[in-house]
Amino acid sequence: MGSLRRLLLLVLVILLVQSSLSPFLNRLSPKIHMESALLLFFSLFFSSSLSPTASSCTLFPEEARPTKSGYLPVGAAPAANSSSSAAAEAALFFAFYEAQQPVSPSSETPLLTWLQGGPGCSSMFGNLFELGPFLVSQESPTLRGNPASWNRRFGLLFIDNPIGTGFSIAPSLDSIPRNQSAVAAHLIFALRHFLASDPSFLSRPLYVTGESYAGKYVPSAGYYIMRQNARLPVDRRINLRGVAIGNGLTHPVTQIFEVLNAL
């Protein structure tokens, strides 16, 4: 392969992987804004968990705060006398926003799980810059309501996936998964914890969605759920109804060489 083709290939990979960031990279310094976004998110997170008083409501509207947020374990708790508790400490960070204006009864309102790409991009990026209920303004680090938020009609669950990404916790390098089977197993373990946190969640229709490198996570998760469901009694199955992938990098070898050949 000529060096020009190699260079083109590299640029293409970077573009595909970073495509979710591109609207922002063009216009502003993403680092500064991501930091502002994380600060804002932290203040949201802590203002809702530490000071549930009327005064905190003046800072941010109620809908800007997650309905639930925190950590979902990815493995069974170890025996109390076990020397290694790494698997139990590994956890995925999540932020859940309940549907604001659902058109179906709450027990039938779909749940959407959003997985960012990367690999290694926090789903708080999608939350605060793309599809969450409140977005960080480009001019200043303040929040503005998002009229196209995906939680207008659906419950919206952002997960920092896999372990090691965003606010998710990796107690050791060994706890970071190295293949899609392990990523999917962690994700579904965590998802089951989330679904168990509210009696109505398990029966609600579930969609797994994401963009860019989530073109790998989303089908892996869907496949894992379908295989698991086939072995479980009906009342323990995850009610997976569909998956959605935007600008997915699902099969880099095929996708990138097809584009290169067309140049």
Ligand X SMILES: *[C@@H]1O[C@H](CO)[C@@H](O)[C@H](O)[C@H]1NC(C)=O
**Interacting residue ranges for ligand X, rule: CB under 6 A:** 79, 81-82, 177-179, 181-182
Closest CA to 211 of 21, 25, 10, 30: 21
Q: How far is the CB of 84 from ligand X (least distance, A)?
A: 9
Nearer to ligand X, 127 or 165 (CB): 165
Q: How far is the CB of 87 from ligand X (least distance, A)?
A: 11
Output the DSSP codes for 50-83. H--SHHHHTTS-GGGS-SEEEEEESSPPPPTT-S
Nearer to ligand X, 43 or 181 (CB): 181
Q: How far is the CB of 91 from ligand X (least distance, A)?
A: 16
Alpha-carbon radius of gyration of the chain: 19
Q: How far is the CB of 250 from ligand X (least distance, A)?
A: 18
Calpha distance 190→91 (Å, rounded):
8
Calpha distance 260→209 (Å, rounded):
27
For the record, the structure tokens of 83 come out as 């020397």
Nearer to ligand X, 135 or 183 (CB): 183
Nearer to ligand X, 118 or 126 (CB): 118
Q: How far is the CB of 83 from ligand X (least distance, A)?
A: 7
Q: What angle do CA 185, 170, 162 make, to 5 degrees?
A: 40
Nearer to ligand X, 47 or 220 (CB): 220
Nearer to ligand X, 51 or 181 (CB): 181
Q: How far is the CB of 173 from ligand X (least distance, A)?
A: 11
